[in-house]
Amino acid sequence: MRHRRILITGVAGFIGFHVARRLLREGYNVTGIDNINPYYDVQLKRDRVALLQAFPTFTWIEGDIGSPDMLDAAFQQPPEIILHFAAQAGVRYSLEQPLTYIENNVVAFTRLLEACRRYPPEHLVFASSSSVYGGIQDVPFREEQCTEFPVSVYAATKKADELLAHTYSHLFGIPTTGIRLFTVYGPWGRPDMAYFLFTKAILEGQPIRIYNQGQMKRDFTYIDDVVEAIVRLLPRAPEPEVHPQAPTGAPYRVYNLGSDRPVRLGDFVHELERLLGKEAEKQWLPLQPGDIPETWADVSRLEAVIGFRPSTELSEGLRAFVAWYLDYYAHRPSTEVIPSEKVRP
């Protein structure tokens, strides 16, 4: 039976927006909440929300889930499924503003878990990150590997979320799934991400910063593949059984969600140059604090559950992003982005 009431936090964000639009197109009732924080271009976030508001089954709440009043409003009709994407993003920025990350990623998530304790959903799905793997060099990353040694504050908050989610799942029987996302890209993307800033800089003839001398590798994952995987996971709430990820018997699981095809950053830039028809002016820089040299997702566990694995080729996904970027900024020529030193590869 189709679930009718879905709550999405961070709905004005990149992934939250795309998941919401897919569910609304399929006829679900979606309530979306977002605080529209100014970490990156606020107008881009509002333009995403405007597209969602065109659907009659969308309910928009502008507010912070860290506020009990906002959560009370979101839970007036308790949702059957909750998708939690709200978070303070950015690895390098977390070195500058660690308390912001604790408040938005840990405290706010705990408030959401408390709401789930009062009004248990059929399934809580939350966004974790590949950054929890820290400096592990044994690739591809597998869910059973140790994730106890994060190398950035952002990663530490995402690991804390996983621990809190498991604890609430164990104590209160909340079926919970964590998704470790690997460098998601595509149309309507985040302006703080490297591919977005690179595109802007190349078109404007500005230099781009390439860290780790271009040898950094990332498991770039196209947004449509991410949405497909998440939608397939919604009806597959974990069962309360002893499992390697939940030896307590909690109805809790965590999955990698990546392409399983890491790409060297230098090669990524070359493909972007080809699509834009313009060569970038490059500044080659060392690995930065908080960065990890390679991410690579083993997605076999996810594929076994949902019968799907990401398959979009980088050239195809980047082509779609570039086409969107050129069209969007042709109609909205001014663009606001955060300083490039906060860019995340």
Tokens (6 digits) for 290: 């908080």
Residue 334 makes CB contacts below 8 A (sequence gap 6+) with none
Tokens (6 digits) for 87: 């978070």
Q: How far apart are CA 206 and CA 36, in angstroms?
A: 28
Catalytic status, residue 154: yes
> Contact 169/250 with Cβ under 8 angstroms?
yes
Query: Which run of H or E residues covers position 228?
Result: helix 223-233
- In the chain, what are the helix, strand and coil shares in percent, each to the nearest 5? 40, 20, 40
Residues in the chain: 345
Residue 253 makes CB contacts below 8 A (sequence gap 6+) with 176, 177, 178, 238, 243, 245, 246
Q: How far apart are CA 36 and CA 21, in angstroms?
A: 18
Report the 10 Å Cβ neighbour count for 233: 23
Indicate which residue of 28, 101, 154, 211 is catalytic.
Answer: 154
Residues paired with 82 in a beta bridge: 7, 124
Q: How far apart are CA 125 and CA 84, in angstroms?
A: 6
Residue 332 CA: distances (Å) to CA of 13, 194, 281 = 19, 21, 25
Region at 173 (left for phi over 0; alpha for psi -120 to 50; beta for the rest): left
Give the active site residues.
154
